Each structure stands twice: as C-alpha cells, then as structure tokens.
Structure 1
Amino acid sequence: MFEHTGEYIKNDMIIEFSKTLEMFDLNQSEARLFAFMYLSNKPLTLDDMSEALGKSKTSMSTSARSLTELKLISPVWKKGVRKDLYQANPQLFKIFMMTYIDKWVDASKSQKEGLEKIKRQIHEQEALPNMEDRLEEVIEFHRQIEQFFACMKQEHSSLK
C-alpha cells in the first residue's frame, strides 16, 4: 500500500514541478521529463525515461536533446553501461534563471531596436508627430527592462 501511495505522491510532485518548468518555455513533455530526471537524482537511459513517463523512446530522445541543448541535463558515462545515460543538472535555480534572463534580455533588446527603427521612420517622414513622445517612453521602458535583466544576470552569474 505504501509503495502505491509513494508512486502517486511522486507523480504529483512531477506534475506540479513541471507546471513551474513550463513557465520557462519548456513544452509539457520536456518539463515532465526534466522534473522526473531531477527528482530521480541518478543517470537514466532513454528506456528508463520512456517506461517511467509512458512515452515513446523517440519522444524521450527528442526531449532529452532539447534539454541537453538548454544545459538542463547532460550525457554521462558509466562503466559497463552501453546505452546513453543522462542526468539532470543539479544547479536548478541558476540554470533556469540564467536561461530566463537571457531570453528577456534578448527579447527586450530586439524589441527596443525595432521601436527605434520606427522612431527614425517617424522622424524622417515627419509622420505622426504626436506619437514620438509616447514612442520614446515605450523605448525607455524597454531600455529599463534590458538594464534590469542585465543586472539580474550579473547577480545570478556570481551564484554557485
């Protein structure tokens, strides 16, 4: 009876943790796989992942590749094991925060550049003169976002 209850609790943990991970732009499959791997705290094969999550090995391979690219999991080597093994990166907070911060910095920088291009067009064509002040406020808003997340990035890069 306790084994069954333990499995339900572990599954609930994976579901709740994966909801948080989805807020960091992981799809549902990636989020559930990472949550499972992180909570397992040991190297796993694609077969282990597939069996535990009830997904195909191909699906697990695709998700594992995505998580590896994001540096959330890493391939590991274990003597005597011929299959590929993967393990969750233990620096959970730092990895997620750095990834999230990088996305915000890149997005705000890109949007700010697009808005500045529009501002130049307004100025060159002397179109929409009433909009120039409001547009400058929007650009400043993006500058502040970019600076805020750049400061956060610097702060979090010093965490261990």
Structure 2
Amino acid sequence: MNILEQDRIENINNLMISEFSKTLEMFALNKTEAQLFVTLFLNDEPMTLDDMKDVLGKSKTSMSNSVRTLLDYNLVERVFKKGARKDLYQAKKDLYQKFMKTYVKRWLEAIDRQIHSLKSIEDELKTMDSKHENIGHKIKEAIKFHQSLEEVFHQINRYDQ
C-alpha cells in the first residue's frame, strides 16, 4: 500500500470515528468515551491504554477514565492475551443490544428518581393551603408524563430481551 492510500485509509478511519461517535454521544457517552468505543469497535485486535492514547491523541488518564466508564456500561471487556504485560480491552459484540440495554437501564433509573422527587414535592404541597391546586394539577401531570415514559421504556426493555 502506498503512502497516498495509507493517508486515505487513515482519513476514512478518522471520519468513521468522528461520525459514529456522534451517534453514540446520543446515548449519554461523552465525546472521548464515544470516540474510544468506536476505536475499539473498529480495531480487530485488543488495545492497551497506551495504544488508545496514541490513536486518539488523548492522555492515558483520559483513556483510563473512559475505559472504566465503558466497562461500567458493559460495552467493552478486558481480555487476556498470553504474554501481554498490560491490560487489553476490546469492544463487546452485539453492539445494538448492548447500547439499548445500557440506554434503557439509564433512562429507567432516571425516570424512577424523577417520579420519587415529584411525589415528594406533591406530598409537600399537600401540607399547604388548597389555593395551590393549579400547582398540584401540574405536578400530577408531570408524574403521569414520567410514568408514561417509564411504561414505554419497560416495553422496550422487554422487547430487547
């Protein structure tokens, strides 16, 4: 492969990382986490933190933090390679299912927190004068909205299993 072709391949690879990571950012990954996941996804071989920092031009600390987040979300895995002295990581297979499970789980957790918070506000309002009925009505609407979202995400979760 000549130098011009290598440059074109590297440019295509960089464009792929840039564009694909934009989609992943919609799943609440930050830019570095999304770029790192795409890099691991595109790479056929597991990578060390040093490999990652060299490819993305970021610090090793940034790569370590991003890998930790991706591990927490079950999107990457640590792999064993005989003779390797450093930890190696690779993107997990079943890309769609992994992202949907992670995304749905995070939404359900956030919705649950919001419903509990709104119900606490509603309980506080009940201890006050009845002249705040309009606020009470709005809180009920907000709770109903969140419960509807929760129902939709539970249906998505059942569908993906």
Q: TM-score, normalised by structure 2?
A: 0.90
Q: Tell me which of 23, 31, 51 is aligned to 1:20.
A: 23
1:136 aligns with 2:136: no
Q: Which residue of 1 aligns with 2:107?
A: 104
Question: Match of 1:80, SS?
Answer: coil
Q: How far, CA to CA, are the matches of 1:11 and 1:121 in structure 2?
A: 53
How many residue pairs get aligned? The number is 157
Q: Corresponding residue for 1:48?
A: 51
User: 1:1-160, aligned counterparts within 5 Å?
Assistant: 1-127=4-130, 128-156=132-160, 158=161
Task: Indicate conservation of the 8 Å contact 1:41/1:88, yes or no.
Answer: no
Unpaired stretches in structure 1, ≥5 consecutive residues: none
Query: What are the Cα deviations for residues 42-87 of structure 1, in whole angstroms up to 9, with x where unaligned?
Result: 2111121121111222322222122112111111001122221111
Moved over 6 A (4+): none
Bigger Cα displacement from structure 2, 81-90 vs 58-67: 58-67
Backbone CA RMSD of aligned residues: 1.4
